[in-house]
Amino acid sequence: MLWQMDPARQRATLLWQFSERTRASHGCAPDDYRGLHRWSITERGAFWSAVWDFCGVIGDKGERQVIDGELMPGARFLPDATLNFAENLLRLEGRTDAVVFRDEAGARRSWSWDELHQTVSRMQQALLGLGIGQGDRVAGMLPNMPETVAMMLATASIGAVWSSCSPDFGPRGVLDRFAQISPKLFVTVDGYKYNGKLIDIGPTIAEVAAALAPARTVVIDLLGRATDSAARIDGGVTLESFLAPFSAEPVRFARLPFNHPLFILFSSGTTGKPKCIVHSAGGTLLQHLKEHRLHCDVHEGDRVFYFTTCGWMMWNWLASALACGATLCLYDGSPFHPAPVQLFDYAEQERFTLFGTSARYLDSVRKLALKPIETHDLTSVRAILSTGSPLAADCFDYVYANVKADVHLASISGGTDIVSCFVLGVPTLPVWRGEIQAPGLGLAVDVFDENGVQIATGKGELVCRAPFPSMPLGFWNDPDGSRYRAAYFSRFPGVWAHGDYAEPTAHQGIMIHGRSDATLNPGGVRIGTAEIYAVVEELPEVDSALCIGQEWENDTRVVLFVKLAPGTVLDEALRLRIRHAIRSGASPRHVPAKLIAVADLPRTRSGKLTELAVRDVVHGRPVRNVEGLANPEALKLFENLAELST
């Protein structure tokens, strides 16, 4: 056990207060999270209705809590409710910060709640003037900046549907996503800054706008080239021109059904054209409020940061923290430019209360031997969150020894599919080394073996046995729902199979061992790739690693690719050290048959390793939609490797 909140502080958490308020319903003491969780999944309608009340959702809840509550998919929560997502996020007014923005060069901007309202109002009027209405799509190819948040809120305020990606996508990557949903408005920037460089994307946005042919393309000025970029696009205008005819007035909010579409998010698309996943306004709002307030203890006035791009669902998750009355702390650019302490500087200067990032980032700063516990005042930080990939046990050690000793470190896991988490942190429970603390409230999470039987020990498929509000409404252009059902319910009928290889722990937590579709199976024994990475990436000579199963002689053999630290050579001594570390730290079955050094490893734009794409290259199969990768050129490193032919 690495950390446990002081009992006096526990009683001040929103989770404790919620448990006390609902105690008459669930009959458990406020420090009994497991009992609360049991009630939340057995009485799902009552639980989600209580979340609505406790979080003060603005809208009409209606009478019925859930209908068809055992159907999965098919259940409908709060079927009579009406609300507006943006109205719930714009609940505060005043001069205090609603949004703070900083880029890698240190430039800072902030908007008060009044300024956010005013900007949303002008954008709303401009959207309505363009004829955009309920159900129409607005697509943004944008950095993580205040205007992006405002445009999303303006879109949601009228019942239109928001979808976004980051500006580092190439034309094909953008069109593989946005062309499927036919947006009426395309919003972008003239360029962006990354790693000290100014990157002009004028040609990209011209190509995308021509192919999408939306009613209007709006270009936001970041590099001073927006006017020129807009002039090259039919129907192109700058944001300044788009908003010029409109003065701020009170924002109008369309109250719509609970299941009205809000977001279209996209799968990574590394195994085919990205899936267009449609999420509801009510389900997204309730799930995010539950996670922010009960699991992350976000109070009004807190300052919430997550290192993310607009192409990752964590951006949508971050934006929803406005519904708690929190200040959003946004960042755009490299987290390591001009210095590796960039995000810790930002945390200290803006007094973050929640610091969210990726496991990859924490591992990188660990390997750089940064010690912000000695160099930065992080007194304000109450929680550090990590997602994107499993957080290795040694990174837990690193955070408590070198970042902050008294902090709630929460490894969280879910995904674009549910725009939230299945398993995550609980402030009133202890943090155990290498473990995710618990399933989320309202989520009947279990681990199944290959036959669909629940297991209490060992590794298997992460599943959810009962419906929940943030399940997708479906996929875009999937009228009979067949693609949606095939994606999540074909493995175990009536049960959501998430595609994660997971293991229950003795503390009733969860460990994630990677994606189950990337699980290795040498000699018929299932092995999670994350188990190998946790051992290998602990070695100072190894920057990162990627593991696949290669089909070989009627079986599967484990192949491990390593990207080495600068100046390191994969000689026989290092090979022996790596193999010994895997044998002793994991098991003999984890030891790779082939160990190969490569210059780079391909990753998605949210930083996840693309094991399946590498596996396809090794086996001579085409990789579909390489535009989904941040560094697609790395795939060539795995073509026709002589080492894999023997």
We report the CATH number of the domain holding residue 627 as 3.30.300.30
Last residue of a domain, one of 513, 547, 569: 513
Q: Can you give the CATH number for the domain in which 401 is found?
A: 3.40.50.12780
Same domain, 502 and 562: no
Last residue of a domain, one of 480, 513, 546: 513
Query: Rounded CA gap, 67 and 64, in Å?
Result: 7
Position 584 scores a pLDDT of 85
Q: Can you give the CATH number for the domain in which 242 is found?
A: 3.40.50.980
- pLDDT tens per residue across span 556-586: 899 999 999 999 999 999 999 999 999 888 7
pLDDT tier at 524, thresholds 50, 70, 90: low
Same domain, 87 and 145: no
Q: Is the pLDDT at 133 greater than 80, yes or no?
A: yes
Same domain, 631 and 554: yes
- pLDDT tens per residue across span 72-109: 999 999 999 999 999 999 999 999 999 999 999 999 99
Residue 424 lies in a domain: yes
- pLDDT tens per residue across span 136-177: 999 999 999 999 999 999 999 999 999 999 999 889 889 999
Residue 198 lies in a domain: yes
Last residue of a domain, one of 256, 289, 307: 256
Same domain, 62 and 123: no
Same domain, 540 and 589: yes
- pLDDT tens per residue across span 307-337: 999 999 999 999 999 999 999 999 999 999 9
3-class SS string, 314-366: HHHHHHHHHHHCCEEEEEECCCCCCCCCHHHHHHHHHCCCEEEEEHHHHHHHH
Angle at 439 between CA 435 and CA 442, to 5 degrees: 170
Query: Rounded CA gap, 142 and 270, in Å?
Result: 21
pTM listed for this prediction: 0.90
What's phi and psi for 564, nearest 5 deg? -90, 160
Same domain, 171 and 139: yes
For 622, the domain range is 519-644
Residue 17 lies in a domain: no
Same domain, 451 and 573: no
Same domain, 294 and 228: no
Q: Which two tokens stand for residue 600?
A: 């780079």
Q: Report the mean per-residue pLDDT for the chain.
A: 95
Same domain, 460 and 524: no
Same domain, 425 and 546: no
Query: Rounded CA gap, 214 and 236, in Å?
Result: 10
Angle, to 10 degrees, between the axis of helix 44-55 and the axis of helix 281-289?
80
Residue 179 lies in a domain: yes
Same domain, 352 and 206: no
Same domain, 307 and 448: yes
If one counts the domains in the chain, the total is: 3
Residue 376 lies in a domain: yes
